[in-house]
Amino acid sequence: MTYDKSIAAFEEAYRVIPGGVDSPVRAFSGVEGTPPFIEKGEGGYLFDIDGNRYIDYVQSWGPLIFGHRDADIEKSVVEAVKRGLSFGAPTTVETELATEIVILFDSIDKVRFVSSGTEAVMSAIRLARGATNRDNILKFTGCYHGHSDSLLVQAGSGLATFGTPSSPGVPADLTKHTLLATYNDIESVQKCFADSPDGISCVIIEPIAGNMGLVPADEEFLKQLRTICTEHGALLIFDEVMSGFRASLKGAQGISTVQPDMVTLGKVIGAGMPVGAFGAKADIMAHLSPEGPVYQAGTLSGNPVAMAAGLTSLKKLKANPSIYVELGNKAKKLMDGFMKAAQTAGIPLVTDVRGSMFGFFFSDKVVKNFDDALQNDTEMFAKFHKGMLDRGIYLACSSYETGFISTATTDDMIEETIKVAYEVMAEIKG
């Protein structure tokens, strides 16, 4: 493959956009080469401006369960656009989508829409602090909850790729209220509570971590976490911005028996449009303005175009629950293929799957937390990523990210990908 036009486009973008990209992980800093500039998507494929075609396992980082340009979602978006892009006023489609979410999640009585996952998490934490009248929060090393100040501490994904544990520009006065525990380690959580005489307002966790690679929380760990939060009066927040409607129709809550106090959602509920949401039981949400004193607002919150796309996508998912079985089987088939390719080449690899989410590490150790993830062979991943990309396979450009299967990902695409993986693994080993 040639990337001449993409290289030129990247150089041009670099002159007017920091790093040439509008989100750091797109910059290919953790892998080899220059990011392809995408011209269009179609079903399970991406096409770049050089005319290269790729089997897409990023799917806009998760939201495109039905692939690119799904006819039903596209139609609903076009119809919504014809009525107007934004009103800054209530629309019935907001209520329709909210109702669908409330019906699905036992932990949610009311939900508020925002415009991004970062905004959803930021607002949920403000609400938790307001509802408990406590300042401290607890998060887990390697879990990424967006780039708001109090959460940009030991985050995964882009920060891990750059080897940076935090970010300049984040005041110490804010991060001093953020306590760090180790994922899947309940003793580290107990220590945080013991060391917090003023109490902890909330514990936020990705129940299926997707920003240090795919690292699911152990069920027993989540149960113990639930018990500790209840005992100490702290609110348990499940960040399901990535896993919501992806791991199952009910996200991680369709897999785990543990029920959180609050949930943050995003990505999939917009079917590719910018959207986020946070929800909880009515008594917690009653603290939120205009019912209560905790202020949160957004001019484009509940944007009618995003709401229309999300409602169409969610209705399609509810009408076809077998989709998740099919997607899970395909994800497992892909990871089994990667594993066999690695074994054949004599390369250590561990894999995992949760619904339509998949992940792999070049490591001989099962990954349970961020420290484990950091021990994976990032140089090997970079070579693998480059080899796959050059053969038309578009994977996330960081070893700390998760991959996604869509309904447009066919068995033939999976088989082609596995065949390419064998070639690349053998080439790397050779």
Identity (one letter) of the amino acid at 298?
A: G
CA distance 287 to 394: 44
Residue showing tokens 């991959």 = 403
- Of 253, 266, 207, nearest in space to 106 by CA: 253
Active-site residues, by number, are 144, 239, 267
Closest by CA to 366, choosing from 384, 352, 386, 354, is 352
CA pair distance 237, 262, nearest whole angstrom = 5
Look up tokens 């920060």; give the residue: 159
Alpha helices, DSSP H, located in 320-410: 323-345, 370-374, 378-390
Please state, in angstroms and as integers, the Cα–Cα distance from residue 77 to each residue in 47, 83, 304, 313, following that order. Answer: 22, 10, 9, 11
How do 357-361 and 403-404 pair as beta strands? antiparallel
Largest CA distance in the chain: 65
Helix H or strand E segment including 358? strand 357-361
Distance in angstroms (rounded) separating the CA atoms of residues 253 and 114: 21
Give residues with Cβ within 8 angstroms of 320, minimum separation 6: none
Token pair recorded at residue 131: 């509802």
Distance from C-alpha of 290 to C-alpha of 255, rounded to nearest angstrom: 34
Rounded Cα gap, residues 253 and 244, in angstroms: 8
